[in-house]
Amino acid sequence: MLAFANAKINLGLNITEKRNDGFHNLETVFYPVKLYDVIELIDAHQTTCIIKGIEVPGKSDDNICLKAFKTLQRDFNLPNQQIILLKNIPVGAGLGGGSADAAFLIKLVNDKFNLELSVAEMQNYARVLGADCAFFIANKPVYAFGKGDQFEKLTIDLSKYFMVLVKPSVHVSTAQAYQNVKVQKPAKSVKELIQLPLKDWKNHIFNDFEGSVFVQFPEIDEIKTQLYTAGATFALMSGSGSSVFAIFEKEVKLPELEKDNLVFYNV
């Protein structure tokens, strides 16, 4: 059985407070985009994970898909499976690729073995694997808060626009992104601001990680500037970086950005 695990972008991201458990509370809007990894499950004598495509740091034995499967296997006594992951979503890009893979693996297992888990039950399994992992179970636009694992439904549709995603060669770790980030509650929640007309987002919707990340990686800041110069209505770094997305009113091509970066059109 196959599953196609899509990426996400963050339409705004505010780091609102430091928690006692060492994590941070945040608020953001998760929005799914059309950039996919492929996951396959095959019956096997032992459970393994094979990764193809983009190189994923670390050992395949530590892959989040394998962790997701073994978590379910302990509770449901599942037969061994070979997990094949074709990696297309850039790593260290703020696109939630690893979280998406784990969530779609959970859904794939649920379907293949008729576990009849509800959306809420699958989200609970996903939450222990990563803060944004549970989003990909329902996989619809949401206002996210807490650690990024609590959701409220949102009605937002950007399908009439042309979206471009730019991934530079640099990798931004979560630890790097949190260096010197300013923790503060915004005057207005992104949940409210996202209802503004798209043309007004540029002046009202921000990503708190940009201030920290742009100092360390000015080339990401330059990408954002180039996207606005090319006519983007709105551009923002996604998550903790390093990718930047832009929303255009009409189709564009960006050959200058393609020289040194991965550029994905119409995501």
Residues annotated catalytic, as ranges: 8, 132
Phi/psi of residue 181, nearest 5 degrees: -70, 140
Let me know: does 6 contact 264? Beta carbons within 8 Å: no
Let me know: does 80 contact 113? Beta carbons within 8 Å: no
Rounded Cα distance between 122 and 22, Å, is: 25
Enumerate the β-bridge partners of residue 13.
Answer: 28, 207
List of E strands, the chain = 2-18, 24-43, 48-53, 81-87, 142-145, 150-153, 162-167, 234-237, 244-248, 262-265
Helix axis angle for 218-229 and 209-216, nearest 10°, is 110
Rounded Cα distance between 267 and 235, Å, is: 14
Rounded Cα distance between 144 and 134, Å, is: 10
